[in-house]
Copies of this chain bind each other. A is one copy, B any other.
Amino acid sequence: MQTPKKIAVVGSGLVGSLLAIYLKKAGHTVHIYDRSPDIRKIQFSGRSINLAMSNRGWKALDGVGIGDAVREIAIPMDKRAIHLVDSLKFQNYGQEGESIYSISRGILNRKMIDLAEQAGAEFFFEQKIWDVTLSTATLHIGETERGEWDELEYDMVFGADGAFSRIRHRMQRQSMFNYSQEFLNLGYKELNIPANADGSHKLDKYSFHIWPRGEYMLIALPNLDGSFTCTLFMPFEGENSFASLKDRKEVEVFFEKNFPDSIEVIPNLAEDFFKNPTSTLVTMKCFPWTYEDKVALIGDACHAIVPFYGQGMNAGFEDITVLYEMILEYGEDWERIFSEYQNSRKPNADAIAELSYRNFMEMSSKTADDQFLLQKKIEKWFSEKHPDKWIPLYSRVTFSDRPYVEALAIGDFQNTIMEEVLKTDDIENMWNSEIVENKILELLQK
């Protein structure tokens, strides 16, 4: 336990709620502010990609003993179900028993807020924080941006208020603050596969479903109630784009042609397509993340990434794991805690941003490519024979807690090796031969 501090967390999302639980564990008074209503009392907004919880997420939850409570609302997915236009293939994510877990963002957030309240954190909903005075950890709160504001003084403020963080907005106005936001020319839209009448799933429940089509793709993740949350990723403009699908007929024709096996399982396709918003995808980077021993950013507020590696929440939760390690190591020295936290996390946040950006290509194109599937098969085979010598990139990111920077660097090295290996004569038949095994072993020495 540290000397108790009075701490404000801005943002009651997943990272804010979990951070509150950790800060309570460390002995502090914790107030959480959110501009939105209590998510436990409202309908969800209908523009969320389902979450894929993996090792880093579970580690952070288990660190405060709430992993099992969350496992109750999670569905394991041990493989990709790859829907080609004329066939269906499966590809395991990892070794036997390794899965990622589909969780509804809304259901998880409700659960996390319950758990944080049980831990003693106090929530203040529909309270709009517009600004922060960095040097005194004072929040400025009011009904409107241009109206009257009140001041709330704390010992410390955490900005867990997402990609468009107001806390970061103030930090941005300091000199020497590096910042970038970059939008993809790609949007996404939520669609829905309802449950069968008996509550069972219309597609394989334990798969991450993907319809890879190059410039665009459809994915579907299972929900507890038998439905799937689907997400269509597609360019805003161009030949196959949101702009090109202007009416119900065009949407239906497009899906019939390109996602034929989705037609019978998405009954409200055209209706949902025009009812649900088209959302944007942004990569946001910044530095520094902290101000003296007063203010720290965490999660999407300091490193928003695109969703193609399923690591956004996992990376945010890992921020908390690392912050808590620093608390254990540096005790009362909050300036040191903050500075070690940001220096440790920043390169890893940049690495997962890069990996996530690249992974759109992998998901939307390469999963439909036989060479790529062969490469994955060889990697899996070699990795099973030599688990000490080869952890596939996806596994290192998803099923380990090795640093993301290491995953990025070793992944690139492995790719150069596999490029060589795929040049082997008759590799389609030789892929699990001693020749290939020795070639990989030799290339690993270089």
Contacts and interface: CB of A to CB of B under 8 A. Distances in A.
A197 interface: no
A181 B285 CA distance: 10
A182 interface: yes
A180 interface: yes
Contacts of A177: 181, 183
A360 B182 CA distance: 27
Contacts of A172: 181
A185 to B, nearest CB: 9
A280 interface: yes
Contacts of A182: 178, 180
Interface in A164-216: 172, 175-183
Interface in A262-291: 280
Contacts of A178: 181-183
A180 B180 contact: yes
Interface in A293-348: none
Interface residues of A, number: 13
| Identical chains bound together, number | 2
A178 B176 CA distance: 19
B179 A280 contact: no
Nearest to A182: B178
Contact of A280 (B146, B149, B175, B183): B175
Contact of A179 (B146, B149, B176, B181): B181
Contacts of A180: 179-182
B181 A280 contact: no
Interface string A122-158: 0000000000000000000000001001000000000
A146 B147 CA distance: 8
A429 to B, nearest CB: 41
Contacts of A179: 179-181
A378 to B, nearest CB: 37
A139 to B, nearest CB: 15
Nearest to A149: B146
Contacts of A183: 175-178
A189 to B, nearest CB: 15
Contacts of A176: 183, 280
A179 B172 CA distance: 12
A416 to B, nearest CB: 24
Nearest to A169: B173
Interface in A231-256: none
A182 B177 CA distance: 7
Nearest to A173: B164
Nearest to A285: B180
Nearest to A181: B179
A162 to B, nearest CB: 14
- Determine which residue in A146, A149, A280 has the highest number of CB atoms from chain B within 10 A of its CB, and name it: A146
A323 B263 CA distance: 50
A388 to B, nearest CB: 40
Contacts of A280: 175-176
Contacts of A175: 183, 280
Nearest to A279: B175
Interface in A75-129: none
A181 B172 CA distance: 9
A432 to B, nearest CB: 44
13 contacts: A146-B149, A175-B183, A176-B183, A176-B280, A177-B181, A178-B181, A178-B182, A178-B183, A179-B179, A179-B180, A179-B181, A180-B180, A180-B181
Given A177-B183, A178-B181, 7 more contacts: A146-B149, A172-B181, A175-B183, A175-B280, A178-B183, A179-B179, A180-B180
For the complex of A and B, list the 7 residue pairs with the smallest distance between their C-beta atoms, beginning with the closest. Answer: A180-B180, A176-B183, A178-B182, A179-B181, A175-B280, A178-B183, A176-B280
